[in-house]
Amino acid sequence: MTIHALSRLRARTAVLAVALLPMFGGCVTDGAALHDSATTLDGAPTRSSLQRAASSAANGGNVNVRLVGDVAYVTGRVDSALEENAIKRALSRVDGVLRVETSLNRDM
């Protein structure tokens, strides 16, 4: 087999592999989601990225975050007002969150 024939065979194999990828569990994407896993395709932050931001600010608290539009709603329990403010600051720094509303119980 000549080098030219071998390179054509490799090109055909690559095209076939790409064509069959969606049928065997592959994912077709525009590439934007590969670079920023903290946002959805429409640019909104994911629930897990919001939860990580809140949990990292909550020292001993147990909080849940839900995003509705561009408002992050935080529920759960925190140890102090300082911890609640830290959660608000952390979530307000997340791209796509314009406002943070909390309904937290404090264990003082």
The string of pLDDT tens digits covering residues 48-74 is 888 888 888 887 678 999 999 999 999
Distance in angstroms (rounded) separating the CA atoms of residues 6 and 91: 54
Lookup: tokens for 27: 């994912």
Question: Which pLDDT score, from 0 to 100, does residue 36 have?
Answer: 37
Distance in angstroms (rounded) separating the CA atoms of residues 51 and 1: 57
| pLDDT of 35 above 50 | no
| Cα–Cα nearest to 73, from 49, 52, 94, 91 | 91
Q: What is the DSSP string of 23-70?
A: GGT-----SHHHH-TTB-TTSPBPHHHHHHHHHHH-SS-EEEEEEETT
The string of pLDDT tens digits covering residues 82-91 is 999 999 999 9
Q: If pLDDT is split at 50, 70 and 90, which confidence band does 34 have?
A: very low
Q: Are residues 74 and 87 in contact, defined by beta-carbon separation less than 8 angstroms?
A: yes
| Mean pLDDT value across residues 19-29 | 52
